[in-house]
Chains A and B, each alone.
Chain A
Amino acid sequence: MSMEVEKILSKYPRRKDYLLEILHDIQNHSTKNFIPEEAVQRVAEHLNIKKAQVYGVIGYYSMLSIKPRGRYVIRVCASPICNMMGSCSLLDYLKQKLDVELGETSADGLFTLETSECLGNCAAAPAMMVNQEMYGNLSPGMIDSLLEHYSRQTK
């Protein structure tokens, strides 16, 4: 991880406005979808800002996390439209399938279940994202095959 962090930092000028870009890159390179404390320290040094400022920014933006998460973060759209089109029951289905509550990670460390505000996939509601991939027109059957697909990728 620390080698990765150095590589990411070297890509960006030492300017504070690159903070979000750097944090995105670090999180995307982590297999646990989070920004570790050592990385926060290095980012603060690199940009010559306080660690608290880095934590402050991470804490504000809902896509960023300082807590380790699963290899895949599932974000179920909780917009009024997806709600209307059945996202609540899909969320319950996922909770049961993964045996987790909202914000928790499955026992195998693969999936973290979260909700998101409108994902902008409203014509295909209900929708969700798995890491950076968008899915729509979801049904329990589709969720089964998606979970299987991602589980297989890591074997």
Chain B
Amino acid sequence: MLKEYRIALRNSGLINPESIDEFIAADGYQALRKALKSEPLGIYEEIYDSGLRGRGGAGFPTGAKEKAAAVICSDCEKYVICNADEGEPGTFKDRIIMETDPHTLIEGLVIAAYSIGAHRGFVYIRGEYELSIQRVQNAIEQAYGRGFLGKNILGSGFDFDLEVRRGAGSYLCGEELTLIESVEGKRGYPRIKPPYPAEKGLWGAPTLINNVETLANFPAIILNGAKWYRSIGTENSPGTKIFTISGDVSKPGFYEFPMGITLRELIYDVAGGIRNGKPFGAALIGGAAGTFASEQHLDVPMGYDKLREVGLTLGSGAVIVMDGTRNLNQTMLSILKFFKHESCGKCIPCRVGTAQLHNTLKESLAQQNFNNNQVYPELIRQAELIARTSLCPLGQSPILPLKSLWEHILVKQTANK
């Protein structure tokens, strides 16, 4: 089996996640010490140079976000938020980080806060992740006790306070501006973008908001340097990625590998191949807001740009594998049901459209003479319309699985009939 290369998960399973001593013994908080001795400018430039991109799904350059929040004003109120509202179907990497190594996340957060000049931060964790909530809360208390949080951190003169906030069962709150609304104690409705959070975020103040896995890469980058990080992975997607593999494979689970690993390697080498010796059918990459890959994509390197070139998205790194006997129309139906349920209703095209997509496919599948050829082009037309007329990524998502399932897989099956 290919050997994992662990950066975000380097302590996972090796230390007791409830012991700050074990974390410190594993070089924990060394990166924070180093960061606090340098200028904030040096920190965000290091992250920028490392080429790290947002691991929540969008893949936006992390350093650029950080720089924007850092330079917008000095001596003004700013915030740092960790987006731990992991809800993309098939994704559980952030849960593993929080459950097995919460201090790495906290260390990354304090470094991020120092680099932009924020003195208050939040970890927004989805309400269902009870163990993550407990572990992060416990780690925050321990970090206060040792002077890694609070006033005058490690004698540097830098102050930073951190709190956990619980979500309550809304997928949409994983969208950054919606999450900010939720932290403010409101219903999770998206805001109009721009302005972006780096300009106007929490309570209208500049806010840096990063995913758990993104922040978990900070300590290693600060300790080892941008050049080291760039030596891992591919040119446009440096570093490693946690892939969460589920569905019809022998060994589902979480695995961290350099970017550029192929789907074939992940499925056949890492996850033990398709269960019960069945043939490969399809893989849904990136969750419900992701794309269907077919056999022809098995050797494409997994990285943001290489996947985009062939009409796929890396997204959160979820890999949902379906064997050749699965009814992909049923999978599509449950994805459309998901979007229908999670649409917040603010934009009418999304509220009505996601319900209509689900109903159209459901009714079509119930007909005896069901023909993909008649249904999918219409579903795609509607989904494109919804994408163009909705504010936030939710309305822009159904087109991704629909179009890729049709173009990569169903169109060929239909042609062969």
Residues of A within 8 A of B (CB): 15-21, 23-24, 47, 56-57, 59-64, 75, 78-81, 83-85, 116-125, 129, 132-134
A63 neighbours in B (Cβ, 8 Å) = 127-128, 168-169
Find B184's partner among A16, A79, A124, A125 (CB 8 Å cutoff). Answer: A16
Find out whether the CB atom of A132 lies under 8 angstroms from the CB atom of B168.
no
Find out whether the CB atom of A16 lies under 8 angstroms from the CB atom of B254.
no
Q: Which residue of A lies closest to B327 (CB)?
A: A84
A125 neighbours in B (Cβ, 8 Å) = 246-247, 252
A84 neighbours in B (Cβ, 8 Å) = 247-248, 322, 326, 331, 334
Of listed B130, B168, B338, residue having the most chain A CB within 10 A: B168
Of listed B86, B87, B284, residue having the most chain A CB within 10 A: B87
Which of B108-116, B185-193, B383-391 is the contact stretch? B185-193
B90 near A: Cβ within 8 Å?
yes
Q: Which residue of A lies closest to B127 (CB)?
A: A63
A44 to chain B, nearest CB (A): 12
Q: Which residue of A lies closest to B93 (CB)?
A: A120
Total A-B pairs in contact (CB under 8 Å)? 132
B91 near A: Cβ within 8 Å?
yes
Q: Which residue of A lies closest to B244 (CB)?
A: A122
Q: Which residue of B lies closest to A25 (CB)?
A: B166
A129-B128, A134-B131 are contacts. A17–B92 as well, Cβ < 8 Å? no
Find out whether the CB atom of B86 lies under 8 angstroms from the CB atom of A120.
yes
Residues of B within 8 A of A (CB): 86-92, 95, 126-131, 165-171, 182-188, 244-248, 252-254, 284, 287-288, 318, 320, 322, 326, 330-331, 334-335, 337-338, 341-342, 344
Question: Bound state CA distance, A64 and B130, in angstroms?
Answer: 15
Find out whether the CB atom of B90 lies under 8 angstroms from the CB atom of A57.
no
Find out whether the CB atom of B187 lies under 8 angstroms from the CB atom of A120.
no
Find out whether the CB atom of B169 lies under 8 angstroms from the CB atom of A79.
no
15 further contact pairs, Cβ within 8 A, besides A60-B344, A118-B91: A20-B165, A59-B187, A60-B170, A61-B167, A78-B334, A79-B90, A80-B334, A81-B89, A81-B90, A81-B246, A122-B90, A122-B91, A122-B92, A125-B246, A133-B130
B335 neighbours in A (Cβ, 8 Å) = 80
A130 to chain B, nearest CB (A): 11
B205 to chain A, nearest CB (A): 13
B122 to chain A, nearest CB (A): 9
B390 to chain A, nearest CB (A): 18
Find out whether the CB atom of B185 lies under 8 angstroms from the CB atom of A24.
no
A126 to chain B, nearest CB (A): 11
Find out whether the CB atom of A123 lies under 8 angstroms from the CB atom of B92.
yes
